[in-house]
Structure 1
Amino acid sequence: MTIVQNNQFILTKVYGEALDRPNNLVALGTVAVMNPEQVIDLPGHFAVHVETGGLSRLIGSRYGLAQCFYHFDGRRLHHGADVRAVCRSAGLEWDWNWRALAAVSCFEHVLGEDSLHPLVSRLGAGEIVTVRNGSLETRVAPAPEAERFADPAGAAIDALVNFVQTHGRENAVVSMSAGFDSRAILAAFLASGIRPRLISGGYGTDVRMSKKIAAKYGLELEAIDLPLADFLDSRLDIARITSGSKTACNWHTYVYAKRARLNPDDQIFIGSNGEFARTFYFDRGAPFILADLLSRWTTPKFWNAKLARFAQLPEDGTNAALLDRLGPKQTEARAYLMRNYGGRLGDSMDEFYLRERVRNFIANGLALVGAFAKPRTPFVTTEWISAIRQTPRRMKLGNAWHRFAIAKLEPSLLAFPVDDTTRPMGRRAELKYWTGRVGHTRDTAPMDYASLFAAAPFETALDAAIERLDDIVDRGAVRRFQQSASRQERTRTLSYLMALGSFKESLAQP
């Protein structure tokens, strides 16, 4: 959502949504000009632009989830909700940011403030970008000192409940799965005496378990199909909204929201960043505990392992500028990761998830949902994040905090499994979790992407997309790769190329 208001002195524009802004945009604009730091920690995910006299300023909210990009041409600050809008405003011809392309290949999102264009930056979390009389200044406002909690796990539950009670009393919809995040959110609703509508999408476990939960509590549930036709029909819109940085294996978010019976005023509660409370990248019981103790060695090994997994591209037909930044050659990315996330293994993974994955990957998903309704993220608030940061690591293993929260708020929800077994979620992780033999959940994809990518309509759309990528990869080389690669390699690489080609195609749209 983008809102613009102009008075005699200040032009104010808001990307995203400030949930508790001053009485009107004029007041917000005045604060943004006089005391920009006071804007950053307002609730919600937003970016504010103000312009008055010789001043042009962008301000990002604390966690930087609102999509806002900018380019400074030496005189004027060009900004927009997507990269295409900024390029058009600034008159920039298209060029690839090879560093960002390598990051998307590896992580399925960019890193830092990169975009896929080397001259367009993403507004950072808590960042203030000011152009005054033709001079550019950027800075990141420090976070306020966090409140100290005697019972941080309990304080995190209180933060969840307070968010639900504040924002969930009207038009509340919970995006439901079989997993822990949505179940904790639903528990907060039920404990507050609020009966939300549920939606669940795809095939398999998530929909089956959501139906059982809805029946138990007498809640309305909408089960949403995700057909291939909608997936392909929407690809240019998805690529534009996400500026090409969300790979096609994750496009179901848009189709899901598009096919749901959502109204613009609906508030859809999503469990984004619930992973911050559960050691997402390595939730493997005792093996993690040992690795965390040996962080001096294991943290570099973890990042090396992450960098070694990337979308495979044919060496005989791919631009060397990209190949030179993949795999063992990613020296710049490795240095960035170790500089920013090179400490204790568990803490480093948590902070990477919040500051990179949530801001660059999940924010794309929220932008897609935001095309149809108002996304609400109770696990991306200062109160909840501060409490979870202080929560002991033992509460972040085996979904211990989630189980604790559900047990306190609506314990009957623990009786439902998280997969297609009959074993209840329960208050504790199963014993074999601690051996490292099984992770905290058994994830199921909402769509069978491997089969989808093998379908003839997808092949036709892929051909159209790759025609736009002759500056990255040769189509003949891609065909040879498709014939020789494994199913998993093929799916990941085609997902990557479909996103880039569709975005390049969207640049030519009116």
Structure 2
Amino acid sequence: MDSRIWTDGQTRLDLIGHSPWPPSRLLSALVAGERVGDLPGDFVLIASRPDGGPQLIATSVLGTRPYFYLDRPGTPHHGRDLFALARSARLPWRWNLDALRGVAWFGHTVGTHTLHPEIQRVPPASVLIHSGSHWRVTADPFWDDTFGTPRIGLDDAVDIFDTVLDEQLAHRPLISLTAGFDSRALLARALAVGLTPDALTMGHGRSTDVVIATRIAEATGLKHSVVQLEAEDYFRHAALITRLTGGTKTIGNWHAFFYCQDRPPNEPHLVGSNGEFARTFFWDKGVLARGVGLGGRLAARAYWAARIGGRARRMAAFLPFLTPNGRTDAIAFSERSLRLVTTTRADGLDVLDRFYATERVRHFIGNGLNLCGYFTAPMSPFLDARVIRAVAALPRTEKLGSNFHRRVIARNAPQLMAFPVGGTPVRHRAEAGYWRRRQQDWVPYSPMAGVYGDPRTGEILRDSPHIAHFLSAADREHVAVAGATEVQEFLLTLHFAGEAAGAA
């Protein structure tokens, strides 16, 4: 597991995730009054004393590794395994309906929700202290302040990115290599400082990621490994994957576990997680993006209403328990989700960017990092507070069309610009109307057709007592024969979570 343990005989420190600082230095900085938002890396830090003294949990600005706590008087309960935590606290299992809505409609939970309504996920950019009665939570204002900082130039942001990445490259890590911009930016800097790292790609021989990554590896002299996914692995490892993700990573996104399982234990592993924060993930559409930005919170509100409403409508016929009050349940959930990312700036794209980082990256990608972290030690410069702050301060034009990534690549390894992204070579700036251009046919790597076609899937959908808790026999049969894969994906995930929880 990607964690470090330190003790001086009186205090035990567990660092989950990555920081260039050792656990003892992080704790000393917090004790000295430094803001958690100023600490480098992406981590959860746990400080405990065997004598029963105060216990502390601190998270970096994203704190992507899942960690959970129960806030009630008495003995402090906290840990990495949601289901084990519920059992140790002797909690009868109950389902959190809003968490299930998040997993169904977003593909992840939001806020501090977990599948159990009494257990919370530790929030980002926070310090929690338990001194004998309850948890006291102190939130750092990092995310309230970040989008209001003065603008900086593109090269200044690239300088900060390179500095943070150089700290991680000092570990001579393995690099995840795809056909996209994020991993290309990481490799560009590695080549610029004289490294030829091992590269790892997921997919089969015809998948786009493998085709492009293989060409890059051959041209730059990298040792390149390819991992193919097998449908059988999804059933074989379902119990462990469910525990590692708190049951909130849908089965179609379990690939990070299989991707890393044959690597050496705790191998330093460079990934591009949160790279989309520098690319306007939710609305990278050139001049149209400016309209969303100027529309402020109302534009962001309309975006979420459409996004959640569409998915909720598609699922309503199969999963009526998510919307017992009809579309008003989806609207209310959308409003609650948007309130999590209020910002001091009125720019609608800033609201969406904050949601992407603090909700989608922290939950969806964080679960993936935890899966990979069961084997390797993943880290990403895009998760570090210094890079997040620099990217947030860029003018929006530098975050559209992957212009930030283009500059990183051009400055560090311009030879990588010859390899296409989306079917065309990488230009120094995104061309006008880039978002309207039809991309090449993308060949995916997912084996999920084999999972859905496996007889075990039909048996689970029809016979699982955990699914039967929510759906009638007729509704379960409807799901099994209708071929609605997004619904089947959600219900398979719910089934394995129910197994882990021992729910009836």
Q: Give the TM-score normalised by the residue count of structure 2.
A: 0.89
CA contact (8 A) 1:272 1:362 kept: yes
More moved, 75-84 vs 337-346: 337-346
Question: 1:49 aligns to what SS in structure 2?
Answer: strand
Aligned mates of 2:367, 2:278 — CA distance in 1: 21
Q: CA deviation at 1:2?
A: 4.5
Partner of residue 468 from structure 2, selected from 452, 467, 470: 470
- CA separation of 1:106/1:11 partners in 2, compared to 1, >3 Å: closer, same or farther? same
Q: CA deviation at 1:457?
A: 4.5
**What amino acid sits opposite 1:505 in the alignment?**
E
Q: CA deviation at 1:316?
A: 7.7
Question: 2:383 aligns to what SS in structure 1?
Answer: coil
Aligned to 2:47: 50
More moved, 234-243 vs 55-64: 55-64
- CA separation of 1:328/1:412 partners in 2, compared to 1, >3 Å: closer, same or farther? farther
Aligned to 1:497: 491
Aligned mates of 1:129, 1:151 — CA distance in 2: 33
Aligned mates of 1:388, 1:318 — CA distance in 2: 39
Q: Which has the higher contact order (CA 8 A, sep 6+)?
A: 2
Aligned mates of 2:468, 2:341 — CA distance in 1: 35
Q: Deviations over 1:406-459 (max 9, x none)?
A: 11111111111124x4x312223344425x4658x9765430534541233543
Tell me, yes or no, if structure 1 residue 222 matches structure 2 residue 225: yes
Aligned to 2:410: 407
- CA separation of 1:458/1:152 partners in 2, compared to 1, >3 Å: closer, same or farther? farther
CA contact (8 A) 2:36 2:126 kept: no
Aligned to 1:369: 372
Q: CA deviation at 1:479?
A: 2.0
More moved, 141-150 vs 114-123: 141-150
CA contact (8 A) 1:209 1:416 kept: yes
Question: 1:282 aligns to what SS in structure 2?
Answer: coil
- CA separation of 1:31/1:412 partners in 2, compared to 1, >3 Å: closer, same or farther? closer
Q: CA deviation at 1:159?
A: 2.7
Q: CA deviation at 1:277?
A: 1.0
- CA separation of 1:477/1:10 partners in 2, compared to 1, >3 Å: closer, same or farther? same
Q: How does 1:29-44 map to 2 (within 5 A)?
A: 34-35=31-32, 37=34, 41-44=38-41
Aligned mates of 2:116, 2:294 — CA distance in 1: 40
Aligned to 1:77: 76
Aligned mates of 2:388, 2:100 — CA distance in 1: 30
Aligned to 1:324: 324
Aligned to 1:251: 254
Aligned mates of 1:218, 1:314 — CA distance in 2: 48
**What amino acid sits opposite 1:166 in the alignment?**
E
- CA separation of 1:142/1:341 partners in 2, compared to 1, >3 Å: closer, same or farther? closer
Q: Deviations over 1:458-487 (max 9, x none)?
A: 4345556x3322222235412213434xx5
CA contact (8 A) 1:168 1:267 kept: no
Q: How does 1:258-269 map to 2 (within 5 A)?
A: 258=261, 261-269=262-270
CA contact (8 A) 1:277 1:401 kept: yes
Question: 2:199 aligns to what SS in structure 1?
Answer: strand
Tell me, yes or no, if structure 1 residue 345 matches structure 2 residue 348: yes
- CA separation of 1:282/1:142 partners in 2, compared to 1, >3 Å: closer, same or farther? closer
Aligned mates of 1:31, 1:387 — CA distance in 2: 22
Q: CA RMSD in A?
A: 2.9
CA contact (8 A) 1:310 1:326 kept: no
CA contact (8 A) 1:15 1:81 kept: no
Aligned mates of 2:13, 2:410 — CA distance in 1: 45
Question: 1:213 aligns to what SS in structure 2?
Answer: helix
Aligned mates of 1:35, 1:89 — CA distance in 2: 34
Aligned to 1:155: 156
Q: Deviations over 1:127-185 (max 9, x none)?
A: 22222231432221233977978744223322332233222234411111101101011
More moved, 55-64 vs 387-396: 55-64
Aligned to 1:479: 477
CA contact (8 A) 1:292 1:346 kept: yes
Aligned mates of 1:225, 1:290 — CA distance in 2: 42
CA contact (8 A) 1:161 1:192 kept: no
- CA separation of 1:501/1:311 partners in 2, compared to 1, >3 Å: closer, same or farther? farther
CA contact (8 A) 1:73 1:90 kept: no
Gaps of 5+ in 1: none
Aligned mates of 2:386, 2:395 — CA distance in 1: 16
More moved, 293-302 vs 346-355: 293-302
CA contact (8 A) 1:15 1:67 kept: no
Gaps of 5+ in 2: none
More moved, 64-73 vs 368-377: 64-73
Aligned mates of 2:93, 2:314 — CA distance in 1: 22
CA contact (8 A) 1:59 1:126 kept: yes
Aligned mates of 1:387, 1:365 — CA distance in 2: 25
Question: 1:268 aligns to what SS in structure 2?
Answer: strand
More moved, 171-180 vs 292-301: 292-301
Aligned mates of 2:297, 2:487 — CA distance in 1: 33
Q: CA deviation at 1:499?
A: 1.1
Q: CA deviation at 1:301?
A: 1.3
Tell me, yes or no, if structure 1 residue 126 matches structure 2 residue 125: yes
Tell me, yes or no, if structure 1 residue 281 matches structure 2 residue 278: no
Question: 2:222 aligns to what SS in structure 1?
Answer: coil
**What amino acid sits opposite 1:359 in the alignment?**
R
- CA separation of 1:475/1:130 partners in 2, compared to 1, >3 Å: closer, same or farther? farther
**What amino acid sits opposite 1:373 in the alignment?**
T
Q: CA deviation at 1:78?
A: 0.3
- CA separation of 1:326/1:394 partners in 2, compared to 1, >3 Å: closer, same or farther? farther
**What amino acid sits opposite 2:174 in the alignment?**
V
- CA separation of 1:297/1:131 partners in 2, compared to 1, >3 Å: closer, same or farther? closer
Aligned mates of 2:334, 2:501 — CA distance in 1: 31
Aligned to 1:388: 391
**What amino acid sits opposite 1:231 in the alignment?**
Y
**What amino acid sits opposite 1:481 in the alignment?**
V
Q: Deviations over 1:196-241 (max 9, x none)?
A: 1111012310000000000111111101110111222111111110
Q: CA deviation at 1:317?
A: 7.5
Partner of residue 416 from structure 1, selected from 419, 425, 440: 419
Q: Deviations over 1:351-409 (max 9, x none)?
A: 11111111111100000000110001111111211111111111111111111211111
Aligned to 2:336: 336
- CA separation of 1:481/1:454 partners in 2, compared to 1, >3 Å: closer, same or farther? same
Aligned mates of 2:4, 2:190 — CA distance in 1: 30
Q: CA deviation at 1:16?
A: 3.2
Q: CA deviation at 1:326?
A: 7.0
Aligned mates of 1:122, 1:298 — CA distance in 2: 29
- CA separation of 1:30/1:291 partners in 2, compared to 1, >3 Å: closer, same or farther? closer
CA contact (8 A) 2:114 2:120 kept: yes
- CA separation of 1:344/1:324 partners in 2, compared to 1, >3 Å: closer, same or farther? farther
Q: Give the TM-score normalised by the residue count of structure 1.
A: 0.88
**What amino acid sits opposite 2:139 in the alignment?**
V
